[in-house]
Structure 1
Amino acid sequence: MIKKYFRRFPHALRGLTYALRHDFGFASQVALAAIVALLAYYFFKPFSTIEALFLTLSTFLIFITELQNSALEAALDRIHPELHDGIKHSKDMAAGAVFLAGIFFAIVLITIGVDRLA
């Protein structure tokens, strides 16, 4: 059973590599997260364990939702390449999930920043 689990890793790594190379949305989120993480570390260091945990959680939430959004958009574009209101709404909702993850990330950063300035 454990071997079967570990055999799935190459698929996941291929998916991440493909997304980084071919999906502008995901690649830009990763680049932006790296820049923001460096700036946050520069201005707000040192982080407490809880702060580091929330920053990591909120960053990975953005990555996860962006990957799901990109995968859904790619699948829907292949299944139904012409414009359709239902598909447009599905894509918009997936983009909304990424937006909410970004808001959560901003709230975490603002909370840490306000705490440091207080």
Structure 2
Amino acid sequence: MRTRNSTAARASNGALRAVDAGADPVGVEPFDDVSEHGTPDHVHHANGFHGVSGMSGVSGASLESPGNEPHNEPLSPDDPLAPLPFNPYKGNRGVTRAWHAMKNSLAGFRVAIREESAFRQELTLAAILIPCGVLVPVDPVSRVLLLGSVLLVLIVELLNSSLEAAIDRISLERHELSRRAKDLGSAAVMVALGMCLMTWGLIVGPLVVRWVKAWLGA
């Protein structure tokens, strides 16, 4: 009876070992060494899974090969480096462009004279001061300063009018930012007027005082 039991126990243990040997290594830890017999050690990966020797360095080679470099994504329209959209009104070149620019500039002058009362007032002042700046007996540099200060007022007024037109084109509602932008443009015009007054006062003022003294002394 003992011999029969021992024989059955050995058979049972052999069957269990055979089943365990044929089972999948589910319980193997990730870093356990499960290399098979006859397989070189350099083929196995660090995570414990072995592979074909020709496929052992695929992941590293794919990262280092120049042909697998990532492509740059296209720039969004809000990116400052993105190319500007095509403008059909910018296609003219050479003399044609200059001709169209001159026509647009004259149209701008006509609109400013017709629609902007402040520009009309400053243009009237310029019509008086520019001939005086040409006739006053001063050196060429002073003459340029006199005429340039008057033209600067007109330039700043035109820019201020264009800024106001752009703001009104966006919206006519009362908004703090719109009011601030228009106030800043008006302040720029005031600075230009102050510069013109200072230039004429420093250059022409002494001449006027000398003429008045000579007239009173006579």
Q: 1:22 aligns with which of 99, 115, 121?
A: 115
> Secondary structure in 1 aligned to 2:172?
coil
Q: Pick the aligned partner of 2:136 from 16, 22, 45.
A: 45
- Do structure 1's residue 2 and structure 2's residue 111 form an aligned pair? no
Shift of the 17–47 alpha-carbon distance from structure 1 to 2, 3 Å rule, reads farther
Instruction: Pick the aligned partner of 2:171 from 72, 80, 94.
Output: 80
Greater RCO (Cα-Cα under 8 Å, separation 6 or more): 1
**Unpaired segments ≥5 residues, structure 1:** none
Unaligned stretches of 5+ residues in structure 2: 1-92, 211-218
Equivalent of 1:108 in 194, 199, 203: 199
Confirm or deny that 1:34 pairs with 2:127: yes
Larger Rg: 2
Higher helix share: 1
Q: Report the number of matched residues.
A: 116
Q: C-alpha root-mean-square deviation of aligned residues, in Å?
A: 2.1
Q: Render the CA deviation track for 1:15-67: whole Å, top value 9, x for unaligned.
A: 112111221111111012223445x45xx822321122011111111001100
Percent of residue pairs identical: 29
Query: Is the 8 Å Cα contact of residues 25 and 70 (structure 1) preserved in structure 2?
Result: no
Q: TM-score normalised to the size of structure 2?
A: 0.49
Q: CA deviation at 1:2?
A: 2.8
Task: State which of 97, 104, 108 in structure 2 corresponds to 1:11.
Answer: 104
1:69 corresponds in structure 2 to 160
